[in-house]
Amino acid sequence: DLHTGGKEMLSHTVYLKGDAECRALAEAFGHDLLLAEAAGEDADAEWADRNFGGKLRVAATQEGIPTITPELAHNTELVEDAIDAGVAGMLDTLRHLDMLPGEPAPTNATVARNHLGRVKADDSGLFHVDGDVELGDYVEPGDHVGAVHDPTSYEVLQEVTVDREGIVYSLEREATVTAGSTLVGVALPLAE
């Protein structure tokens, strides 16, 4: 793969955890990874700090309009496979809503939680991915991803390892990172 920097993200669909119709919409859209996002009192402190309650998807769902957020992974470029997946997902969602004839394609999606399995940079510096971890991999605590280096001495400031079991759905590929930024996102599988 040719990596041009920035955050790589596995295509996925986010829905409000615990909402059956949002879950059905997410399944109809058809990505292999569905991320159940907790809201309100069920969410972590950062959810409130970042005012995620104001997200259109959350606000619409709370007003009785089931809503999902498909994330097609390529947000800075036009990638035909991602465009095709988005169109197919939209058509299947419309079929699920009986706005088009037919049935959505069946899915064997993995359902997981997002935001909980993030590995963050302890310090600002240069992040170099040198492990075997790739998007979509199932990982376990201790799996090596890379290291954050001091930009002047190249001293290792942080060995970056996964801290939870789950599926890698985001991976920072930009060399320059700031303290507190997410380096690896691990989706935590939910028991069905």
Dihedral, CA of residue 68, residue 189, residue 40 and residue 67, to nearest 10: 10
Overall pTM surpassing 0.75 (yes/no): yes
| Structure tokens given for 123 | 């310090």
Count CB neighbours of 138 within 10 A.
12
pLDDT one-digit tens code per residue, 100-128: 999 999 888 888 887 677 899 999 999 99
pLDDT one-digit tens code per residue, 144-190: 999 999 999 999 999 999 989 999 999 998 789 999 999 999 998 88
Listed in sequence order, the residues at least 6 apart from 56 whose beta carbon sits closer than 8 Å to its beta carbon are 67
Phi, psi of 35, rounded to the nearest 5 degrees = -105, 115
